[in-house]
A and B are shown apart, each in its own frame.
Chain A
């Protein structure tokens, strides 16, 4: 699920950046620092929307660097159990297949694939296939998250396509 969330990030500025363009530099640094990262607590930080407050910029005694405690608003993406997501298949194995939902990696076990769909190793590309559907690399699928594993810097999800309205989408 996507959220707009207020977050903070601490930026250290070398004195050589102190000057008229300092705010631009802070903004750029914030973007490059946080966008695309993942925290276990809030999920993936997709995009920084706006900077609410750069902060006072306190010069640290001893080395002259300034510390900015920046508050900003960002779009974050955190998967939840039961959530339905759309993704792209990246790898098909006998035991199931991997799907990428943006930054999130999911695994769909063969037990959570409809029994009609069988693993087909004959094909040049490994795939799960039934009469009218094929799941292979780069197929788009809709899936439902069954469980998530949240680590400090990574989120991994288990998903199913064995329910109504899930599976291959066009």
Chain B
């Protein structure tokens, strides 16, 4: 019918084998099970220590007409010989449905003694719906080729669009419904009677609620009735975004929501089907609850596919992905369909060291019970939202904040309602940015395509060749030095952040040299920072600058992220503290890093909820003061601790904390923190190596200690306050637990004192262990 099939010998044969007889000749018709050849092999008898020659038969696992033998009588064949026989099959069973070949109607589920079952031949599911047939690689590739040809002809690319938090935000919070109802009622009243009453305080949110869609889904859990009501806010500018992009892209929906949800959304946003048509893929058909895979829709050719999604991890940091900053309209809700996904604990902005360019994860293993459990979790989440009403609370908090007299502020006298701040805002411009990027990709792709057409180069370009080019423009010409960010153990080139910098076009340097234009750091006072200031023409910028530039694919103006140089010999205490290298680095460093991440988590306040609304878009300008504040507190506590430690443990080196110290600048530590430097110098590499993880574990009561070196997770934290919250919730003992900052100073000192002693003890034991070990070793070598 189509191309002939190559038959290979099964892997299970006792190689090497020798062909002793060929049973069929070219032109013969064979059936499944027809003997093709006899072979002999040597079998080693362990008892007799001799070998004997055994014989076997190889039978055909396909039917068809023999075209060609690639081996001859007497040939020795090894495992990786490749195709030995070419057969033309009447049907290759490349499309299968319900266990039947869709081309010839043959039953594929028949199982016989041969290891290769018919169903093995077609395993790819490439249609959006659940009922489509399974295809073989060959058929899928053919269908895809037709698709790419058509797209090229129409000068389009494929765009996979995520729903939740990318182009819309959905919530169950009934407050939204009440607000909408109140709004409608008010407008109705106003249309009939003159406006004699003031709108209620939440009316500030009304303008933003204008285009919120609400719907209920039929319940799929057996019990009658409907699900909770969904409220869906399309991202501002969605209509324009979609209309513009549907000219350039063929769009697909790929969501972790259920089918009915996806359908309801599409029906509401795209009633004519002009954007997505039937190209909607939901969790029901995804094949996996946890990851999205390009190969699900484009099994063999992803060269014309671009993805927009707010999460990179579910796509396994696919290079086709254009990340979108999550759309969080209903404050405090998050992604209602993300409960299936792993909680975002790890990096986001930077891909892991080696992203697997993997196969389609067919999660057949996923047992029903697991799914049921997760669905339960989702339902619980929904119930929680219904009960807790995050929006109402947030709005109340907002009103309370505005109306509360804020110490000597002139606003005090104004009535709170005169200028209330709306909780729900229409101030998201992310889609404009994404549209620009997508248009660029499209333009570049077809520019490349046209030049290749002209030069008679038949190969079509790949978006993977285009996206990196656009990315690399972001920081082109920038020469970076990282300070206090890269861990010292390990090669800098291997660090994700280093790789990310290269990916975005920057040139990285290990140390300051005349070429360097930017020093990226999260604190001042490092040797490199000092050098940079000395050199003068270098931007010393917060790590936030780097992160923001990477997220937005746009070099951010450095002015907003500049680190102010602190006078070194200031008389003020806090100033001294910050410019001085930390006496015990672990604590302070982490504190600073968190600051750099923008929403300092536990050190600043352990109640993440508060933090969100108070400083939700953190203004870089406001940060330095905050930093100092935090550091001031921590440093005091730490210094107390140090003193106590020094008193508690006699001459033992309680260096657990120095291990965590910024190893970027041992010199400055040595120079300025004299008492500690003694210990630093005394530490042998071995003990340091052993102790690092230990000292980490030994103080679980200080959450910020858990992450002591910069890693990709810190970058991720920067990206969304929502995730960051998830990230940190387990760490804080309770939502209302006061932060260390809020405690009276003496108390802080007490708690840290405690932990300090713990550390000391631990180290002591550790040391003993080491000594024993050494002694033993020496004894042995003797």
CB distance from A154 to the nearest CB of B (A): 9
In the complex, which range does the number of interface residues on chain B fall in?
20 to 34
Q: A147 is contacted by which of B94, B104, B132 (Cβ under 8 Å)?
A: B104
Question: What string of 1s and 0s marks CB contacts (under 8 Å) between B117-159 and chain A?
Answer: 0000000001101011101000100010011001000100000
Judged by a CB distance under 8 angstroms, whether B267 is at the interface is no
B133 CB contact (under 8 Å) in A96, A118, A119, A149: A96
Is B310 close to A, CB under 8 A? no
- Cα-based distance from A93 to B95 in the complex (angstroms): 13
A126's partner among B94, B97, B139, B277 (CB-CB below 8 A) is: B277
Nearest to B127 among chain A residues (CB) is: A93
Q: A158 near B102 (CB under 8 angstroms)?
A: yes
Please determine whether B132 and A93 come into contact, CB atoms closer than 8 angstroms.
yes
**A147 adjacent to B143 (CB under 8 Å):** no
Partner of A96, one of B102, B147, B150, B274: B102
Bound Cα distance A125, B129 (Å): 14
Give B473 Cβ to nearest chain A Cβ, in Å: 33
In the assembled complex, A14 has its CB within 8 A of some CB on chain B: no
A156 touches B133 (CB 8 A): no
Q: Which of A95, A125, A147 contacts B277 (CB 8 A)?
A: A125
User: A119 touching B106 by the CB < 8 A rule?
Assistant: no
The answer to whether B274 touches A111, judged by C-beta atoms less than 8 angstroms apart, is no
Q: Render B720-745 as a binary contact track against A, CB cut-off 8 A, 1 for contact.
A: 00000000000000000000000000
CB-defined contacts of B133 to chain A, threshold 8 Å: 93, 95-96, 107, 109
Question: For the side of the interface on A, what is the size category?
Answer: 20 to 34
Q: Does A109 lie within 8 Å of B99, measured CB to CB?
A: no
Taking a contact as CB atoms under 8 Å apart, the answer to whether B150 and A121 are in contact is: yes
Is A37's CB within 8 Å of the partner chain B?
A: no
Contact A111 B273 (CB under 8 A): no
Distance between B2 CB and nearest chain A CB, rounded to angstroms? 9
Contact yes or no, A98 B98, CB < 8 A:
no
B278 in contact with A118 (CB, 8 Å)? no
Of the residues B106, B107, B274, contact of A124 by C-beta under 8 Å = B274
User: Do A156 and B100 touch (CB < 8 A)?
Assistant: yes
Rounded to whole angstroms, the CA-CA distance of A91 and B154 in the bound complex is: 24
Q: Does A122 contact B139, Cβ atoms closer than 8 Å?
A: no
> A-B pairs with CB below 8 Å: how many?
86
In the complex the two chains form, is B104's CB within 8 Å of A94's CB?
no
Which chain B residue lies CB-closest to A148?
B105
Among A94, A118, A122, A149, the one with the most B-chain Cβ atoms within 10 Å of its Cβ is: A94
Q: How far is the CB of B651 from chain A (nearest CB, A)?
A: 76
Least CB separation from A119: chain B residue: B146
Judging by beta carbons under 8 Å apart, are B126 and A149 in contact? Answer: no
Whether a CB of chain B sits under 8 angstroms from the CB of A146 is yes
- Are A147's CB and B106's CB within 8 A? yes
| Bound: A12/B348 CA distance, A | 64
B514-537 vs A: 1/0 string, CB under 8 Å?
000000000000000000000000
Contact residues in A for B139 (Cβ distance below 8 Å): 95, 111
Is A112's beta carbon under 8 Å from chain B?
yes
Interface positions of A from 109 to 138, Cβ below 8 Å from B? 109-112, 118-119, 121-122, 124-126
Q: State A122–B131 Cα separation when bound (angstroms).
A: 21
A95 touches B132 (CB 8 A): yes
| Contact pick for A146, options B105, B127, B131, B274, CB 8 Å | B105
With A109-B133, A149-B99 as contacts: A94 and B147 at CB distance below 8 Å: yes
Given A107-B102, A147-B105, output 9 extra A-B contacts at Cβ < 8 Å: A93-B132, A95-B127, A95-B135, A95-B139, A98-B131, A107-B133, A146-B105, A147-B101, A147-B106
Please, could you name 24 A-B residue pairs with CB atoms under 8 Å apart, sorted by A? A81-B105, A91-B129, A91-B131, A93-B133, A94-B126, A94-B127, A95-B133, A95-B143, A96-B102, A96-B133, A107-B98, A107-B102, A109-B133, A110-B143, A111-B95, A124-B272, A125-B278, A146-B105, A147-B100, A147-B105, A147-B107, A148-B105, A149-B99, A158-B103
